[in-house]
A and B are shown apart, each in its own frame.
Chain A
Amino acid sequence: MLEITTNHYLVLSLLLFAIGLVGIATRRNMITVLMSIELILNSVNLNLIAFSYQHSDLTGQIFAIFTITVAAGEAAVGLGILIAFFRLRETANLDAAVELKG
């Protein structure tokens, strides 16, 4: 109980992942959905760090840096899309994005 093992980090990461998943699927607000994606990427980073410590291997930390890079690019492009969409529709509701609906 007093020793923090890799399992603790895995369970915490799973909790954050599940919360992010619920956020992506249930919220209709694009900004909240993007923030939930950031939560999921952070939970992945927690796993990488926990296993990096577990195996005493720096590669996990290196990989987490690349994950942060991808998250930064994803946030920039996602928010750019959101601004373009808001300019077109005057709303950020996902239900308004129906152009591709058959």
Chain B
Amino acid sequence: MDALVAAGPAILFYLFAALAVICAVGVVTMRNPMYGALFLLGTFLSIAALFLLRHAEFLAIVQIFVYGGGIMVLFLFVIMLVNLHRLRDTRMFGGPWPAVIVLAVLLLGLFGWVFVQAHFDKGLTQPEMFTSFIDQQGRLHENAGNSQAVAWALYTRNLLPFEIASIFLLVAMIGAVVLGRRQ
């Protein structure tokens, strides 16, 4: 039992990693985009679990809200809006697919070899860094929670990118409305 508890994170990682890869394969191979979208939801949720295993609690929730909620609803809405029977691929593979498969295998081989060979120092791993932050008076807040630590980093050091992101979302929203408008 103790060995099982000790191996818990590893078991969870392999479980959700396998689920993510299987669902990703489903996204790419399903002829019906509706099934593909549901497989995509499985990938999103598995990746949220993998974020949790890396102590990114806030991001896991954001992943479920934004991807599992917002983007998935957007996809399902569009799939239902357009005619499903016309969406089916006439053939499974089109275009330069042999070259693409070769490229993907080469990519897998090259980077996979590098990633397996690479060795990363484990000494820096301190998950408590993700739940603490230093405020403007220089005080250290420990065990504040991941949301508070992320918020502190987001609204102080990264305020300008945050504002740019809000402008970007405004532009994207206007663009989507203009594109979807009936002429």
Q: How far is the CA of A22 from the CA of B30 in the complex (A)?
A: 13
Which among A5, A9, A49 has the highest number of chain B CB atoms within 10 Å? A49
Asked whether B1 is an interface residue with its Cβ less than 8 Å from the other chain, the reply is no
Give 1 or 0 for each of A8-21: 1 = CB within 8 Å of chain B CB: 11111011111111
Asked if B179 contacts A39 (CB within 8 A), the reply is no
Asked if B87 contacts A29 (CB within 8 A), the reply is yes
The contact of B82 among A35, A92, A94, by CB within 8 Å, is: A92
A34 to chain B, nearest CB (A): 8
B147 to chain A, nearest CB (A): 11
Asked if A52 contacts B118 (CB within 8 A), the reply is no
| Set of chain A residues within 8 Å of B58, measured between Cβ atoms | 61
A28 to chain B, nearest CB (A): 4
Instruction: Point out residues on A near B: beta carbons under 8 Å.
Output: 1-12, 14-23, 25-29, 31-32, 34-36, 38-39, 42, 45-46, 49-50, 52-59, 61-62, 64-66, 68-77, 79-84, 86-87, 90-95
